[in-house]
Structure 1
C-alpha cells in the first residue's frame, strides 16, 4: 500500500567508513548528525546520529546515521535494527569496500526490503563503476533491485535527485501496524533538567500517547509516558514508523540503557531460549558463542544446532522477542556477519531425551516463522490465549476456548477420550470410591487447570461433588456383592428390619462398602447406616396407605414390623418424597394422586 505525501518515515544509512554518509545527511538536512566532539574531531561517526528533512512531496524523512568503521559495527546494528529502509552509500573514488559488504549483509540478515543506493563524491571520480558494482551487490540481497543515484554532497549536484528518490522510496513502504502493541528499542537515554529521564528510539509499529503505561522489558517495572517529541516537536500521540523521544516518569536514566525495550504491558514475552531458522553460514559451522543483534540490543548467545538450518539460541539475558522477529548473528572474533535468523519459537520445549534435537528439527522444518494460530495449537495442544498473544500469535478463531485457555480441536478430543479411560480405570482400581477426584484426574491427564477437567466432562460422565463419575461401572467387588446378597436374604423375610451396625460389620459392610452398594443400586440408604433393599421405600408407602388415616408413628412401626430406629428416618424420607404429609399433631397421612394430576391427602378417618 502506498503512503500519502503528508506522512513521514525513517531510513538508516549504511556503508564503509568515510564514504560520506554523515556528509550526505548534513547536505540533505542541514543538521549535523555527529553529536559528539570526538566524532567531529576524528571526522568519523562513532555513535548513532539523527537528523531529518522535508522532501518535495511535503513528507518528512528522518535519518539514523550509523558508524561505518568496523569497530563500531554493534552501534551500526543498533541503529539499523528497528528501521524499515536503508540508504546504502558507496564513494565513487573508493568503490565497494569491506564494510560496504558487512553492512549490506546485516541489512539482508534483517530482511530489509526497501532501499536506495547513493554513490557519493561523484565530483572526485566517475560514479559509473561504483553504481554498477553497488547495484549488483544490492540486487543479490533482500533489498533486490533498488534505485541508484550519483551525488556530490560538496557541490550539491544530484541532491535533488536523492530527495526525489527518497520520496519514491517512502511512497512504496508498507503501512505500519498502528493498532498493534508497542516495542520501543532504546538507543539513547539521558536526563533533561526539569523533565527527568528521556529515551529515544525508532517506533516501528503501534501507537504511543502521553499518559500511556509501559513496561521495561528487562525488569518488568512500570513507567508512564510524561511527554513525546518527534523531530523536535512535542506531540500528544505518535504512531510508527517514527523517530521518537519519550520523557518517562517512574524510572532513572541508568535503568534504561541501549538495548533495553519499552513494551505494551502483557503483550510481550521476555525469552532467554529461542528456536530460530538461520540464513547465512551453515549452522554446523557457527561457533558455540556468537552475538545476536535485534532491535538496538546486542547479546551473547550460545548456539545449539538442531537441523541443517535451525538452531536453539540461549541468550545471556532475556529479550522481548516474538515469532517472526529477525536478528543478525555476528562473530566478533572473525569480524563477520554469520547470517540472519528468523525467530520460530519463543517458548520452545526442553530437549532432555535422546533424539529430542533431531525430532525438534523435524518440527521446525514445517514452521515458516509467520504467526500461525492453527500451527501453534497443533504443536502445543493447549495454551493460554494470553501466552499466544505475547508470542505474537493472534487468537481470533481458536477452535476450542475454555476460560483463558485455547486448544487444538484434535488434541481436545483426544484428552476427552483419555478422561473417560481414566474414570473407568479409577473405578477398577478404587471400586468403592464415588468417582475420581477432579484433582487426581487433572494430574493423570497432565492438565494445568482443574477448570479444564470440568469443561471436558459430558455425558455419559458426570461431575458430582468434585468427582468425575461414570454411568454404571465395573460393578461391586465380589466380596461386597456377596455380603450385600446375604444382607438382602435377611431383608426378604422382614423387609423393614434394617440390620444393626454390629450385623453390618459382621457381614463386612463398612461405610465405604455401603456407600458403594448404594451408588450401585444394590441397597437404599434411609439414613446414616440404616439401609434397606431396593424397592423397600415404595413398598412402605403402599403398606402405610392401608392404615386408617391419619396414622401415628407407633401405628406405622407396627404395620411395617420394624423398630423406631428405622421407622423415624423412613417416615421422614417419605415426607421429603411427598409420599406422606406430616400434620401439626405429628400424625401423618399418605398423599394420593388426584385425577387432575396433583396430590391430595387421603381421607381422614377419625
Structure 2
C-alpha cells in the first residue's frame, strides 16, 4: 500500500481528507481555549465541570475544516503550572503547536516553561498567536514573543495578533494555520501503529473507548492491537475521527477507538496501543540528551515523557551528551524516538533522542567509558547499518522492531538472518582460531560440535555456525573441522 498523498482519501470513503493535529500551548488564562472555540465554533470536548468553571484542568479536543478543505484537529492543553504533565500528554504526539501569548500580559513564566518543553521535544512547526489584542496594543508582546521563539526548534514561525472576543485577526490566523497544515509532513500510513492513550472511558454498550493522536499508520475495525504495558491483545470494535464513524483511519488524526477485551483499569492515560511484533518493549535505553545541561549535571531520578506517558527513570551519565535510562515500566520504543526528561523539583527539562533500545550491559570495568566513546560517533537517529554494525548479527525481525530498515550493505546469511560484512569476516577468522585451539587441546577428538562453536562465538543460532563453516573449514556429522583435520567426506546440516 502506497503512503497517502495530501488530499487523498485515507479511509476508502470519498471526501474523507487527511487530518492534521495541532496542540495549544502557553500561560494559563491567555486565551487558548477561547481561541479554539473561535476557530472551530465549538467548545473543546472536556468534562462539563471544567466548562462550568471556565478553568482548563485537562485536555480538550475540537476540530474544524480549513479554507483549503483540509481538516485540522486541536488538542487544547491546560496552562497552569500544576498541570505540566497533562500539557505534555497533549503535546507529546502532535507535529505542531499553536503558542498563545496575551497582548495585555506579555511573556509569562509558564509560557517559557511550555516553550522549553516544545523545544526539548524538537517540535519544528507552529504558529504564534498574540491573543486579547482588543485589550492592549499587541506590538510589544508580539516582538517579545518572536525573540523568545526564534532561538528554539520552532524558529521564525508565522505570528498573528488576534482577539477571540472581537474576531480581529481570526481570518489571518485561520490562513496561517492552513499554510502550516500544508507544510506538515504526511506520515506513512503503512507504518506500525503506536497510539498513546490520552483519555479512556466506558462508552455505550459498556464498550471501552480510548482517544489519542494517531501519529502514523492505519487502524481499522477488526484490527488486533497490543495494549502496553500490560501486554494484553485487544480487538478494535469501532473507529471514529472528527465525530465520524469510519471503517479505518490513517495518521495523522485524532481518533477514538472502541476496544473489545480490555482488562478493567489497564487502559488509562499513558498506556499505548501498538501493532504486535513491531516495537521493542524495553526498560533500558541509551539516549542522547539535548537542550539544557550536560548529562552529568542532570538529576539521577527524572520523569520521562513520551506520547502521553510519564514514567520515572533512573539516569546514568555516559558521555557529555549521552546517558543510560532505566525505566520503571516497559515502553514500546523505536530507535530515533524523541522524548523529554523532566526534573519536577528544579522545573528543568532536557530533550532526548533514543539511540539504542537494546543496549549492552555495563557490568565490566571500563564498559561505561567504552560505551560513551561508541555512542559519541552515532547520529541522533542511527540507521540500520549502524545498528547492525553494533550487534554484528541480527534476525531481520529484530531490525524491524527496533525501528530500522535492513541496510543495502547487510550480508544476507539466509532468509532470516543478516550480518554486518566486516563482523561476519571476523567471525569466520575466530571460528578458524577456535578450531585450531580445540585441535591442540583435544588431539583425539577432532572437530568442534556445532553447539560448542555457537557458544564460543556468542551466536544466537546454530544455523549461523553452519553458514560460517565454509571452505577451507569443513562440516560433518554436527561438527566443524579445521582444514588439517581428517573428518571423512564433508556434508552440511541445518540444525536449529
2:43 to 11, 32, 56: 32
Shift of 1:333: 1.2
2:315 to 303, 312, 325: 303
- Aligned partners of 1:451, 1:462: CA distance in 2, in Å? 14
**Partner residue of 1:328?**
340
- Aligned partners of 2:356, 2:211: CA distance in 1, in Å? 29
Shift of 1:222: 1.0
**Partner residue of 2:199?**
188
**Partner residue of 2:164?**
153
1:277 to 273, 288, 298: 288
- Aligned partners of 1:59, 1:376: CA distance in 2, in Å? 38
**Partner residue of 1:559?**
none
Residues 233 and 222 (structure 1 numbering): CA distance in 2 closer, same or farther, change over 3 Å? same
- Aligned partners of 1:196, 1:396: CA distance in 2, in Å? 43
**Partner residue of 2:12?**
none
**Partner residue of 2:368?**
357
8 Å Cα contact 2:195-2:273 kept in structure 1: yes
Residues 198 and 347 (structure 1 numbering): CA distance in 2 closer, same or farther, change over 3 Å? same
Alignment of 1:60-209 (within 5 A): 60-194=71-205, 196-209=207-220
**Partner residue of 1:488?**
none
Alignment of 1:336-347 (within 5 A): 336-347=347-358
> What's the secondary structure of 1:255's corresponding residue?
coil
Alignment of 1:491-506 (within 5 A): none
Residues 252 and 440 (structure 1 numbering): CA distance in 2 closer, same or farther, change over 3 Å? closer
Q: What are structure 1's unaligned runs of at least 5 residues?
A: 476-515, 521-606
Residues 82 and 56 (structure 1 numbering): CA distance in 2 closer, same or farther, change over 3 Å? same
1:428 is the counterpart of 2:416: no
- Aligned partners of 2:78, 2:70: CA distance in 1, in Å? 26
Residues 442 and 7 (structure 1 numbering): CA distance in 2 closer, same or farther, change over 3 Å? closer
- Aligned partners of 1:419, 1:306: CA distance in 2, in Å? 33
Higher relative contact order (CA 8 A, sep 6+): 2
- Aligned partners of 1:175, 1:185: CA distance in 2, in Å? 19
- Aligned partners of 1:249, 1:398: CA distance in 2, in Å? 43
Residues 371 and 456 (structure 1 numbering): CA distance in 2 closer, same or farther, change over 3 Å? same
Question: Mean Cα displacement is larger for which, 214-223 or 392-401?
Answer: 392-401
**Partner residue of 1:348?**
359
> What's the secondary structure of 1:315's corresponding residue?
strand
Residues 211 and 396 (structure 1 numbering): CA distance in 2 closer, same or farther, change over 3 Å? farther
- Aligned partners of 1:29, 1:355: CA distance in 2, in Å? 58
**Partner residue of 2:463?**
451
8 Å Cα contact 2:385-2:407 kept in structure 1: no
**Partner residue of 1:291?**
303
Shift of 1:117: 0.2
- Aligned partners of 1:60, 1:415: CA distance in 2, in Å? 55
Residues 95 and 338 (structure 1 numbering): CA distance in 2 closer, same or farther, change over 3 Å? same
Give CA-to-partner distance per residue, 1:207-236, whole Å, 9 cap, x none. Answer: 111111111121221111111000110111
Give CA-to-partner distance per residue, 1:82-107, whole Å, 9 cap, x none. Answer: 00000000000110001100111111
> What's the secondary structure of 1:176's corresponding residue?
coil
Shift of 1:303: 1.0
- Aligned partners of 1:155, 1:471: CA distance in 2, in Å? 89
TM-score (norm 1): 0.76
Shift of 1:32: 1.2
- Aligned partners of 1:248, 1:43: CA distance in 2, in Å? 32
8 Å Cα contact 1:3-1:170 kept in structure 2: no
Shift of 1:40: 2.6
> What's the secondary structure of 1:254's corresponding residue?
coil
TM-score (norm 2): 0.93
Shift of 1:195: 5.5
- Aligned partners of 1:360, 1:423: CA distance in 2, in Å? 31
Give CA-to-partner distance per residue, 1:454-483, whole Å, 9 cap, x none. Answer: 11111122211111123433x8xxxxxxxx
Between Structure 1 and Structure 2, the one with more helix by share is 1
Question: Mean Cα displacement is larger for which, 30-39 or 276-285?
Answer: 30-39
**Partner residue of 1:405?**
417
Residues 321 and 195 (structure 1 numbering): CA distance in 2 closer, same or farther, change over 3 Å? same
Give CA-to-partner distance per residue, 1:8-30, whole Å, 9 cap, x none. Answer: 21000000001000011011112
> What's the secondary structure of 1:117's corresponding residue?
strand
Give CA-to-partner distance per residue, 1:228-283, whole Å, 9 cap, x none. Answer: 00011011111110000011111135211111111111000111111111112222
Shift of 1:378: 1.5
Shift of 1:2: 9.0
- Aligned partners of 1:85, 1:472: CA distance in 2, in Å? 66
- Aligned partners of 2:172, 2:264: CA distance in 1, in Å? 41
8 Å Cα contact 1:91-1:121 kept in structure 2: yes
1:22 to 33, 56, 59: 33
> What's the secondary structure of 1:131's corresponding residue?
helix
8 Å Cα contact 2:19-2:251 kept in structure 1: no
8 Å Cα contact 2:192-2:278 kept in structure 1: yes
**Partner residue of 1:438?**
450
RMSD between superposed Cα atoms in Å = 1.8
Residues 250 and 124 (structure 1 numbering): CA distance in 2 closer, same or farther, change over 3 Å? same
